[in-house]
A and B are shown apart, each in its own frame.
Chain A
Amino acid sequence: MKHQNPNELHAQSHDREHAHWDRRGFLRTLGMAGAGAISFGNSALSVVESPFLNQALSDAYSDRILVLIRLKGGNDGLNTIVPLYDFDLYAKKRPKIHIPQNNLYKLSDDFGIPNFMNPIAPLWNEGAMKVIHGVGYENQNLSHFKSSEIWATTTPDSQITSGWMGRYYEGKYSDYSLNPPEKPLAIQIGSGGDLIFDGELTTYSFSVSSPERLKRVAENGTLFDNQNNTNGLHGNQVFFLREASNTTFRYASVIHEAYENSKDFNAYNNDNFDVQMSLVSRFIKGGLGTKVYMVTLGGFDTHANQPTRHETLMKRLSHAIEAFYKDLGAFGMADKVLSMTFSEFGRRVAENGSNGTDHGSAAPIMLFGPALRGNGFIGKHPDLRALNNQGNMDNTIDFRSVYASVLTDWLCADSSEVSGSITDSNFDLLGLGLGCNGTENLPLTNDPLLPLHAAVNDVQGVSLYLTINEAAHVEVDIFDILGRKVGTTITTRLSSGQHNMYLLDKDKNRFAPGQYFYKIKVNGGKTYSKSFIVR
């Protein structure tokens, strides 16, 4: 009899080749990220020097969380952030569906939000909201599907099927398949077909088609409900298989744990989108450790009856965001969470014949979170008087610049990680004022100026970020590469804390592209300098 020790089978199969292929699909449909490692479950595989472990250590210093809010269907930017500065033209283009001036809440003299978005007004007033104008890309594709794909992959090239977050993770976690993290890197609700978290080899998000499903996982700690099976052999087999599936999928238990560690906040409604935000909040409060979440609010394809439909959607969005930040604020985590809306396109400037709008192009992106440390607008609103031949606005900011900026300023990605994430395209850093470079965690010193200052390019010019310990008089001079002083840009008194200011404003200063130095003189004494590039 040649009976073999069953354990030897595993040892053998582990020695054999383990081919690479596109594993993303089942991972995505089930949200199985992490299952790959189970393939090695019974083998003695171990990786001593794991890039992931190192990464996890460095990540531990940052507890920042990004919530991507996908407004699926193409959100009408003009009825979200209404251009008061050109209101008459706006109203003329949209005689039936414009937001009347007396129904607007003014964010500034130039822009307002509809009154039905009032729940987010306090965030603006508290400096926890910014708006990036005119985000889109050149040669706007007007298909929902293709444009969503472009927003996810950052390229119109159909051959590329990985997304910007997926590539970002791929660069960071090169041994992800062998050593998947203990917790999901990202959680995605809805948008199952979206490519954003797909890398070349795997997908990096735990993805569920609905908040209900995520809630079941969170409540039960299992992927598949194993209650109330039928009797008999079929029922037994199903029980066995469900049990095996649940054991194999290990993220369910950590999600359950985080859920159990936290409590519901009573400001949410029983609304699909509220439930999504409330689940995200519970995971954050429960210490899940997932850094990126994507939630989905669908229904923005408002070709008809836009006023009612858009109002409903915007009320739901605003309410959920208000509740979310109140919730996080009460827990003391609000400043750790940045939220960002996005949509595959905006809508046509002129209304159509059905009280609605057709597919458009550029639209604003809204950022939320006290970490923004100030309200404001980034970039320029597209010119309503210079529409393209389809009647759409040209974008003033490329969406890839927004991604790059969020990666750099919020997730503190370095430039190689950013260029790995945003493929084949140029981008600018917008200077979101989120203060990366680890500023939050550095100890104070006696030095009046922390060794934390950097120049960052954005569409408007070059911004200088600096932090000082105590109020001081600050002078900033700029030198070219030969050491010639080419301008004094700043002479001011600054309070203690972080600041950012324009070193170069493209509208005011014309500098040839190239390398320059800035020199910061504090209280007429100590100087600090660094080189920077003007693009």
Chain B
Amino acid sequence: MKPYTPSSSHPWNAQKINLLGRRLGFGCSLSDIDLYLKSTPDRVIDDIVGGAKNMAVTAAPEWEKWDNKQFNNSGNNKNYYHTLWQKQAFSDFLNNGFRERMVLFWSNHFVVEYLDVNQPAYLYQYYALLQTHALGNFKTLVSEMGLAPAMLRYLNGYDNNKNNPNENYARELYELFTLGEGNGYTQEDITETARALTGYNKYKTYLGEIEFNINTFDQESKTIFGRTGNWGYQDVIQLLFEEKKDLIADFISTKIYRYFVSPQPDKSIVLEMSKTLIKNDFELLPVLKQLFKSEHFFDAVNSNVMIKSPIDLMLGLHHSLSFQYNDNLDIELDFRNKCRDMGQHLFSPVDVAGWQGNQEWINSETLPKRWEYADYLLIKYWQKNKNQFKNFIQSLVGKNETDLRVIVTKLKDFMFCPYEMKEEEMADAIGVFKGEVPENYFEDGTWSLNDASVSSQVYDLMRFLIVLPEFQLK
């Protein structure tokens, strides 16, 4: 994969930084852009990816290992804790950037639905697991995920014992987590794998730690991918990654590509990613760095082709502006609820296959909500401090700019990926920006970006821009 090297025809600029910020993190603020502009793409990506790798796991709550009884005696219902942790996750998203982008990615890969699991400590443990291995080794992540209590509950590993085998997890392990539907496995493999995965059927205390119970483990021999033995849990993972590493690498590289680059995978790039994954024994860091540093990643063809998820939309707007809001606003709760209403309820994807994303995000119910909720944020900033809007535009374009088209274009370029705005929409945008200011103020030079009216002019312009169809793209 050819690395991206800045040149006069492909300069390292705010647009590229914005692309990086929107895809790897949750948007770019003006200060992010300033900072990254001073550096090189190579160093910036090393910083982002390396920094995420070294980040500590979010501090555990006191209820990290509580069992059912402890929750029942706590005086709060389980949803209280669930919501608490979803809010924590949104706070982590905002603070930690890329690491949590990977957590979000994996939570839509190794799906659990928290309402099905219905045990807040399991949710925390699942979250901590995702954070720990978000940029670690994919094989290790697969291995540990299957034993996470949340997953044992959600895909019935807990119910899978030698007398009553349950194929649910075995099937999804291959179909959704590593190989893809019907890709390199048979129904026989699933049946046999399910038997090998038995034994995790014992609560130490009810809905507490789940222990391996040798008595419910199927100790007969199993044949998986043509290899026969008295296989257990770790053997399954070992066999899978020995026998099917090419398929796994292709499957997971494709998924990473689709998430970070484009819904239309480029086969040759995916092949290179697969090779890197295999060469590094499924370590994630090398392949991610390779991809993000590539010319292909920054190729204009791949810019502005992905439909934002609700979380992209809300957090991206919030972080890119980095405006203040009223202290009494529970913004994490707002994010949780509003993203839920737009179809992205954190830790509760639509089904085990996860959110399919892209155009699936948009329908006549979710689209008006996207308009409303993005606007809701702007309203909250406005209510806190109107001057933020004026200060922002001054930072973006300078205090002395008086050319309305230049101002509108620069704001558009900051809030959107590069695209050519239709001329009539540009005229509309300029009309909105003129707002309540008497026409002659623009003609006779009375108006400037220092005027009191500028705050509301920028506010109204932003409210106009966020409902343009292109705002849904990243």
Contact = CB atoms under 8 A, between A and B. Distances in A.
B262 A29 contact: no
Contact of B363 (A192, A225, A244): A244
B431 A210 contact: yes
Contact of A35 (B343, B368, B457): B368
Contact of B264 (A30, A210, A216, A233): A233
Contact of B467 (A10, A17, A32, A193): A32
A240 B359 contact: yes
Q: How large is the interface on B (under 10, 10 to 19, 20 to 34, 35 or more residues)?
A: 35 or more
A26 B469 contact: no
B340 A13 contact: yes
Interface in B398-441: 419, 422, 424, 427-428, 431-432, 435-441
A26 B371 contact: yes
A16 B340 contact: yes
Contacts of A233: 262-264, 301, 305
Contacts of B464: 29-30, 192, 209
Interface in A446-498: none
Contacts of B419: 234, 238
Given A6-B350, A29-B460, A35-B371, A299 B340 contact: no
Contacts of B309: none
B135 to A, nearest CB: 28
A26 B424 contact: no
Given A26-B467, A30-B464, A225-B424, A145 B436 contact: yes
Interface string A7-27: 001100100110101110110
A301 interface: yes
A1 B172 contact: yes
B47 interface: no
B244 interface: no
B367 A244 contact: yes
A2 B364 contact: no
A503 to B, nearest CB: 43
B168 to A, nearest CB: 7
Contact of A248 (B368, B436, B440): B368
B456 interface: yes
Given A26-B371, A145-B452, A21 B431 contact: no
A73 B375 contact: no
B436 A144 contact: yes
Given A30-B464, A233-B305, A299-B438, A248 B367 contact: yes
B436 A237 contact: no
Contacts of B172: 1
Contacts of A13: 340-341, 343, 365
Interface string A220-253: 0000110000001110011011101101100000
Contacts of A209: 428, 431-432, 464
A501 B427 CA distance: 51
Contacts of A298: 438-439
B351 A2 contact: yes
A122 interface: no
Given A210-B431, A212-B424, A301-B440, A240 B362 contact: yes
A25 B379 contact: yes
Interface in A20-50: 21-23, 25-26, 28-30, 32, 35-36, 38-42
A429 to B, nearest CB: 30
A23 B338 CA distance: 14
Contacts of B363: 42, 244
Contacts of A145: 436, 452-453, 456
A213 B428 CA distance: 7
A155 B375 CA distance: 26
A516 B330 CA distance: 58
A515 to B, nearest CB: 45
B318 interface: no
B365 A2 contact: no
Interface string B302-343: 011111000000000000000000000000000001001101
B346 to A, nearest CB: 14
A240 B439 CA distance: 37
B472 interface: yes
B1 interface: no
A6 B356 CA distance: 12
A212 B460 CA distance: 19
A3 B351 contact: yes
B473 interface: yes
A280 B473 CA distance: 35
Nearest to B440: A301
Contacts of B113: 2
Contacts of A3: 351-353
Given A9-B343, A13-B340, A241 B362 contact: yes
Interface in A280-317: 298-301, 303-304
A148 interface: yes
A238 B470 contact: yes
Contacts of A22: 376, 379
Contacts of A190: 431
Interface residues of A, number: 64
B378 A25 contact: yes
B466 interface: yes
Nearest to B113: A2
Nearest to B302: A233
B372 interface: yes
A194 interface: yes
Q: Which of A19, A191, A234 has the most C-beta atoms of chain B within 10 angstroms of its own C-beta?
A: A234
Q: Which of A28, A29, A41, A299 has the most C-beta atoms of chain B within 10 angstroms of its own C-beta?
A: A29
B438 A234 contact: no
A159 B263 CA distance: 47
B171 interface: yes
A4 interface: yes
Nearest to B464: A29
A348 interface: no
Interface string A171-196: 00000000000000000001111100
A85 B244 CA distance: 100
Contacts of A42: 363-365
Given A35-B371, A145-B436, A193-B435, A237 B473 contact: yes
B188 interface: no
Given A1-B352, A23-B372, A210-B428, A238 B379 contact: no
Contacts of A232: 301
Interface string B128-156: 00000000000000000000000000100
A319 interface: no
A72 interface: yes
A244 B352 contact: no
B463 A25 contact: yes
B456 to A, nearest CB: 6
A4 B345 CA distance: 14
Contact of B427 (A9, A41, A210): A210
B116 interface: yes
Contacts of B369: 39
Interface of A: 1-4, 6, 9-10, 13, 16-17, 19, 21-23, 25-26, 28-30, 32, 35-36, 38-42, 72-74, 144-145, 148, 190-194, 208-210, 212-213, 216, 224-225, 232-234, 237-238, 240-242, 244-245, 247-248, 298-301, 303-304
Given A42-B363, A193-B456, A234-B303, 15 more contacts: A1-B171, A13-B365, A22-B379, A23-B375, A41-B365, A72-B439, A144-B437, A148-B436, A194-B436, A209-B431, A237-B307, A240-B359, A244-B469, A245-B469, A248-B364
24 contacts: A1-B175, A1-B352, A21-B379, A23-B372, A25-B378, A29-B375, A29-B432, A29-B467, A38-B365, A38-B367, A42-B364, A145-B436, A148-B436, A190-B431, A192-B431, A193-B435, A193-B460, A210-B428, A224-B468, A225-B424, A233-B301, A242-B469, A244-B362, A245-B467
Q: Sorted from nearest, which 4 A-B pairs have the closest CB atoms? A: A209-B431, A241-B469, A26-B375, A301-B438
